[in-house]
Chains A and B, each alone.
Chain A
Amino acid sequence: MHTRTAIAAAIAAAFAAGAAAAAPPDWSKVPAKKITVFYPGASPIEWIMKGTEHGGARGIRKGETCASCHDEEAADMGKKMVTGQKIEPNPPKGKAAAIPVSVQAAHDGANLYLRFSWKQPPAGAGAKMDADNPVKLAFMLEDNKVELANIGGCWSTCHEDSRTMPGVSDDKKTKYVKDASLAGGKFYDLVQWKSKGKPADGYVADKRVMEGGKALVSAEGKNDGGNWTVVFVRKLAGGEGDVTLTPGKTYNFGFAIHDDHAAGRYHHVSLGYTLGIDAKADITAAKQ
């Protein structure tokens, strides 16, 4: 009888622990990192690395990250580009220059929890490029293998010959990584939440694939009086095209918001940051 009770108690405890593990953390206790996403204009990686255009190319070659120069001026940069003062031949009318976002992360040994919250900027007067989705939020993770991913976050996937870039008529070519290899880990894991459509769990390798990922558990967003909150639950390990997250390690991380029915490059993006799983990083997902 005693043995049976003990087994039952152990099973119950295990279930309880399991249930607790699957529950999102108490976000009020998770530190938030303020990251300003900004309107990037037409600034593909080719432009970034061109010293005659971008004075920071020299710093990048020396191993300096984009954030080490631009982190504090992201909003100012967004203003220059969204108004067409710099590298934007097609300035979107009335679009916000930048959006400050609070980013929180935690994990429970099985899942990563990522929470983004921001205030909805006023709507612009431009065309509704994505009529179905007023808002989308995507993040990318990279396991320190793609060239420059540790320096420039998502920029290694952003190229001058991709769709919606100036002078590009191909409307199918999306993001890609040079010398991509899914098997070799040279890819970005990509997850996107959409305000209307279903979330996407894909990757960016030699092309962008918006399906097939096995890691995403859920992506839910809500708009509470103009304040958006989007929470992703993602398994630490997934399948092909999913970066496996290991405690003690850091990963390259960046995210983008397609605000005001935007599509393609007309988004607000973050600079490159690091996400640490129980490790010191720009954003640390500590075990709850």
Chain B
Amino acid sequence: MADEQRSRNALARLWAYLRHPSPSYSILTIWAVGLVIGITFWGGFNWAVEASNQMEFCISCHEMENNVYREYQKTVHYRNRSGVQAVCADCHVPKEWGHKIVRKIRATNELWGKLTGTISTPEKFEAKRLELARHEWKRMKTTDSRECRNCHGYEGMSVEAQKQRARKQHEMAQKDKQTCIDCHKGIAHQKPKGMTEEDEG
């Protein structure tokens, strides 16, 4: 009986605290302050995520600036007749929030790489290029080239307007349910040396 009474008292105290959390501030004030803090943190977090999606951020490390960025500058995703540019994050970071956060968390691995200098010289980068490319190819294959499809898709593609070779390849790819990355490796960066037929798969 005494136990039951004690538990009832505790609940009553909790309820009272929730109703009057502070003797000095009203619930409305506390809620308003909380809202502002929440918005600030949430906005700040998203701002930081978006800031880390900027090309300037990516190439602020010499590992990116000296290697993959320079190769990318020679490709159609950097410069083309229509002026539409796909920057690093357009291909390498998902647009959808959940996938984006997962990708960002995984990308913290790269900080460790930076600290230990795994690709700090051109030689080290070349030695690791195939392994890194394979990670990205695998990611794109698993997601059916999701990031490519933010801009490209069979449903909007007029194969009849393409040149003979592209037309033929895209017709075959659609029939065989292939995904973009199956063929378009090395479209924005040099293809790594030492690729196997399995990589091409």
Q: Give the B-binding residues of A (Cβ under 8 A).
A: 50-52, 55-59, 62, 64, 68-73
Looking at the assembled complex, report how far the CB atom of B136 sits from the nearest CB atom of chain A, in whole angstroms: 16
For A62, the chain B residues whose CB sits under 8 A away are 172
A68: which of B168, B191, B200 is its contact (CB, 8 Å)? Answer: B168
For A52, the chain B residues whose CB sits under 8 A away are 191, 195-197, 199-200
Sample of 24 A–B contacts (CB below 8 Å): A50-B197, A51-B197, A52-B195, A52-B196, A52-B199, A52-B200, A55-B169, A56-B165, A56-B169, A58-B172, A58-B200, A59-B168, A59-B169, A59-B172, A68-B164, A68-B168, A69-B164, A69-B165, A69-B168, A70-B164, A71-B164, A72-B164, A73-B163, A73-B164
Question: Which residue of B is nearest A64, CB measured?
Answer: B168
The bracket for how many chain B residues form the interface is 10 to 19
Q: Give the A-binding residues of B (Cβ under 8 A).
A: 163-165, 168-169, 172, 183, 191, 195-197, 199-200
Please report whether the interface of chain A is mostly helix, strand, loop or mixed according to DSSP: helix
Looking at the assembled complex, report how far the CB atom of A149 sits from the nearest CB atom of chain B, in whole angstroms: 20
**Given the interface contacts A52-B191, A55-B183, does A69 sit within 8 Å of B199 by beta carbon?**
no
Give the number of residue pairs across the A-B interface with Cβ within 8 Å: 37
Given A56-B165, A64-B172, 10 further pairs, Cβ under 8 A: A51-B200, A52-B199, A52-B200, A55-B169, A64-B168, A69-B164, A69-B165, A72-B164, A73-B163, A73-B165
For A55, the chain B residues whose CB sits under 8 A away are 169, 183
Looking at the assembled complex, report how far the CB atom of A68 sits from the nearest CB atom of chain B, in whole angstroms: 6
A70: which of B165, B172, B191, B200 is its contact (CB, 8 Å)? Answer: B165
Question: Which residue of A is nearest B184, CB measured?
Answer: A55
**Distance A68 CA – B196 CA, assembled complex (angstroms):** 26
Looking at the assembled complex, report how far the CB atom of B100 sits from the nearest CB atom of chain A, in whole angstroms: 31
**Distance A28 CA – B163 CA, assembled complex (angstroms):** 33
Most chain B CB neighbours (cut-off 10 Å) among A58, A68, A71:
A58
Looking at the assembled complex, report how far the CB atom of B4 sits from the nearest CB atom of chain A, in whole angstroms: 75
**Distance A51 CA – B169 CA, assembled complex (angstroms):** 13
Most chain B CB neighbours (cut-off 10 Å) among A55, A71, A73:
A55
A72: which of B163, B172, B191, B199 is its contact (CB, 8 Å)? Answer: B163
Looking at the assembled complex, report how far the CB atom of B165 sits from the nearest CB atom of chain A, in whole angstroms: 4
**Distance A59 CA – B172 CA, assembled complex (angstroms):** 8
**Distance A29 CA – B172 CA, assembled complex (angstroms):** 39
